[in-house]
Amino acid sequence: MKKHRIVVGMSGGVDSSVSAWLLKEAGHDVIGLFMKNWEETDAQGVCQSSREYEDVVAVCNQIGIPYYSVNFVKEYRELVFNQFLADCKAGLTPNPDVLCNREIKFKAFFNKAMEFGADYLATGHYCRAQTDQPAKPLLLKGSDPNKDQSYFLYAINKEALSRTLFPVGHLLKSEVRALARQAKLATSDKKDSTGICFIGERNFKQFLSQFLGFQKGPLLTLDGKQVGEHDGFAYYTIGQRKGIGLGGEGEAWFVVGKDPNQNIVFVERGENHPALYCTELIADQLTWINDPPPLPFRCSAKIRYRQQDVECEVMSHETGCLRVVFLKPQRAVTPGQSVVFYDQEITLGGGIIRLLHQIVERTADP
C-alpha cells in the first residue's frame, strides 16, 4: 500500500476522530486540522469551539499525530452567514451547511490542507467517493442510510472531490462508535451535534432575533381569514406545527406558505391539508458533480435530509431554471432548501428550491 500524506478535518466529534485513527492505523502520514468558523461564548464565557478543539487535541495526542487550528471566522461570516441572513429576510428557509461545504470546507479549508503538502483531505462525512477516474469523480451515498450526508455535499467541486477521502462512509454509525471504543478515543461516547452548525440546539427564534428585526403580522388562512398573529415571517417554515401559537378545537394548525412582501404567514388545519403538498417545483443555483444529464431526464431526488428518495422528472423551465415534477405529491417542499438528484447511489448534483407560487396566487386580498 502506498503511503500518503493526509490532512483530516477534525471537528471534535467521533466521526472525524475515527477517520483519523483509521488512516493512521493504515500507515499513512496523518495531520489533524481543526477549522474554527464561529466565535461565540456561552453563559459561562466559554467559547464552544474551544471545547471542540480540546477534544481534537486529546484525540490527536492519543493517535499520535500532529494537529493545527485554522481560523475561517471572517470567511464564514462573509460567504455563509451573511447569505443565510439574506435568505431569511427573503422569506426562505436556507440550508447553510450546503453553502459551508461548498465555500469553506471544500474550498478554503481544502486549499489550506493542500498547503500542508497533502495528497488528500479526509473528513468524517457519511458518504463515499469513487476516484478511479480523477477527471470524473463520483460522489456516492454513505452506506448508513440513516446517516448518509451526500445531500449536503452535492455542491462541492469535482477537483476537491477527486482528492477527498471519506474513511467512515462505508460504515454504519454503530460500527464507528464501536471502533472509537475499541481505540479508547476520548470522543467515543460524545453526543452527535445537531441543528444548524452555528446555532446548534439553541432556540432558532431567539438566535435569529439577535441579527434580524422583524415585525409582527397576520396569520391568515388561504381564504384570507385572520386567525392569529405571527412574530416575524422568518421564524416560520413550511410544514411547521409547533410554535405557531394557535390552538382550539379541531385539527392542529400548520404553516402552508409565506408572503414576505405583505408580511403574511399562511396557515391551515390538518397534517395532510392539500396546501402542504406540491407536485412540482423549480430550482435554480444549479451545480453538478460532473456534466449535467441532457434534459429531460428521470431520476430520484431528495428535498430534505434523511428523506427517502422520490422519483421525479427533470426538465427545462422558461425562466432558465429546472422544473422538477414528482411522480407523487411531496409534503412540505420548502423554498430555500436544496433538491438533490440521484442515479441510484450516485449523487448527480442539485439546486435551491423555488416553489411555483400557487399558494399566494390562490389567496384573496386581506
Instruction: Please state, as a whole number, how many other Cβ atoms lie within 10 Å of the Cβ of residue 301.
Output: 23
Q: How far is CA 101 from CA 260, 265, 362, in A?
A: 28, 31, 37
Question: How far is C-alpha 326 from the chain's CA centre?
Answer: 22
Determine which one of 100, 127, 278, 312 is catalytic.
100
Cβ contact 106:7 at 8 Å: no
Grid coordinates belonging to 170: 462505508
Q: How far is CA 241 from CA 236, 245, 272, in A?
A: 9, 9, 12
Determine which one of 47, 197, 299, 321 is catalytic.
197
Interatomic CA distance for residues 12 and 185, integer angstroms:
11
197 is catalytic: yes
100 is catalytic: yes
Q: Residue 17 belongs to what H/E stretch?
A: helix 14-25
Interatomic CA distance for residues 286 and 338, integer angstroms:
10
Interatomic CA distance for residues 222 and 161, integer angstroms:
45
Q: How far is CA 299 from CA 156, 284, 286, 343, in A?
A: 20, 17, 16, 6
Grid coordinates belonging to 327: 411522480
Point out the residues that are catalytic: 100, 197
